[in-house]
Amino acid sequence: MLRHQFGWHRRFVPVPKRKQWDGIFVFYEVISMKTLGYYNGKFDEIENMTIPMIDRVSWFGDGIYEATYSHNHKIFDLDHHLTRFYNSAKILEINIPIPKDELAKLLAELVLKVDDGDQFVYMQCTRGSAPRNHIYDADMKGNLWVTLTPQPVADTYTPIDVITFEDKRFLYCNCKTLNLIPSVLGATAADRAGCKEAIFHRGDIVTECAHSNVSIFKDGKVITHPLDDKILPGTARIRLLAFAEKLGYETEEREYTLDELMNADEVIVHSTGSFCIPVAHVDGKPVGGKAPEMLKKIQDALVADFEEQCKAE
C-alpha cells in the first residue's frame, strides 16, 4: 500500500554473476523511485520528506555537505568525497552519526533505489537538533541527510564563459559548510550575465569559483591555488594534478593573479561533475585556447578514469 501511496514501483534486477548460486540467476526486489530523500533512517521521494524545524540547519546553517555523481548506479570517487566529508566534520566538531564505511554502504544501497543510473549524489550532516542556541553540546548527535536526483555529469569538452567576482567569504573555505550565501550570490551574478561560473578573487589573487576550483595552464605547467583556508580541497583538483603529472606535465601549487589568469594558455574550471572544462571568455574577454593538445590529453584521461570507476558490471 505504501509503495502505491508514495509513487514507488517495483522492479527486479539480477544478482551479479559472482552472487549466482549453482549457475542460476537469483532476482531480488528493489524499490524504484524517481528521486530519493533520506533523513536519519527514513527515506521517500524528495517532495514527500519533511525536516524538523529544530534541526540546527534551520537556525544557523550549522552543518557540512558533500556531493558527487553516480553513473550506471555506481558512485564516482566516493572514498575521496567521504574522506573530505569526515575531515570537514572533524574540523567543525560535527558528529556524523555513522562510521565512514557504513555511510559508503548506505549510499551504495540508496542509489540502486532510483530509476536513473546517472544521479547527483548529495549528502550533508547538520550538527543536530535543539532549540535555538549558538552554543552547542560537544556530544550532540548529527542529523544525516541524503538526496538523489537524476543528473548526468557535464560535457567537459564544451568551453564556458565566466565572470570574476570579489571573494568575501570567511576563512573556513577548506570545509564544505552549508554557509553558501557568497557562492549563491556569485553563481546568480554569473547566470544573469549569461555565464556558467564566477571566479572568485581576493584583491588580485584568484582563489576558486562559486562551486568549482579553477586552475591555469602556462608553458606546459598546471598552476593552481595552494591548499589553505581560502579554497576547498577539491577532489577534482586532486585528480587534475595527478593525471597531469602522470602525463608528464609539471604542476605548481601557488597563488596566481587575475593578470596571469587572463594571459594563461588555458583557464580550467574543475569539479566532480565537470572534470576539466575550458573557459572561453572571462568578463567578456577571450582567454585560453593556446594549449589544446595538453588540454585534450588531460580531459581524455579524466573521462576515461570516470568511465572505468563507474563501468557497468
Query: 19-67: per-residue pLDDT in tens?
Result: 343 444 444 455 679 999 999 999 999 999 999 999 999 999 999 999 9
Distance (Å, rounded) from C-alpha 237 to C-alpha 295? 15
pLDDT value at residue 179 = 87
**Residue 8, C-alpha cell as written in the block:** 514507488
User: For residue 172, what pLDDT is reported?
Assistant: 79
246 is catalytic: no
pLDDT, mean over the chain: 90
Q: What is the pLDDT of residues 149-197, one digit of tens each?
A: 999 999 999 999 999 999 998 887 888 899 899 999 999 999 999 999 9
What per-residue confidence (pLDDT) applies to 13?
46
Instruction: Quote the pLDDT of residue 31.
Output: 63
pLDDT in tens, 190-241: 999 999 999 999 999 999 999 999 999 999 999 999 999 999 899 999 999 9
Cell numbers 563501468 correspond to 311
What are phi and psi for residue 160, nearest 5 degrees?
Answer: -125, 165
pLDDT of 3 > 50? The answer is no
pLDDT confidence of residue 228: 93
CA-angle at 64, arms to 56 and 104, nearest 5°: 120
Q: Which DSSP helix (H) or strand (E) runs through 238?
A: helix 235-246
pLDDT band of residue 114 (cuts 50, 70, 90) is very high
Q: What's the pLDDT at 20? A: 40
What domains appear along the chain, each with residue ranges and CATH number?
A: 2-23+33-150 (3.30.470.10), 160-309 (3.20.10.10)
pLDDT number for residue 171: 82
Residue 9 has pLDDT above 70, yes or no: no
Using a pLDDT cut of 70, give the percent of the chain over it: 90
Alpha-carbon span 311 to 25, nearest angstrom: 21
What are the CA-CA distances from residue 204 to residues 76, 101, 216, 256 (Å)?
Answer: 35, 42, 15, 8
Extract long-range pairs of 189-196: CB within 8 Å, 24+ residues apart. 189/163, 189/165, 190/162, 190/163, 190/165, 193/163, 194/161, 195/160, 195/161, 195/162, 195/163, 195/281, 196/160, 196/161, 196/162, 196/269
Task: List the catalytic residue out of 113, 176, 196, 230.
Answer: 176
Distance CA 241, CA 272 (A): 14
Stated pTM of the model: 0.86
- Residue 140: is its pLDDT beyond 50? yes
Residue 87 neighbours by CB distance under 10 Å = 15
Q: Residue for cell digits 573555505?
A: 173
Which pLDDT does position 313 carry in this prediction? 79
Give the tens place of pLDDT for each residue, 258-273: 999 999 999 999 999 9
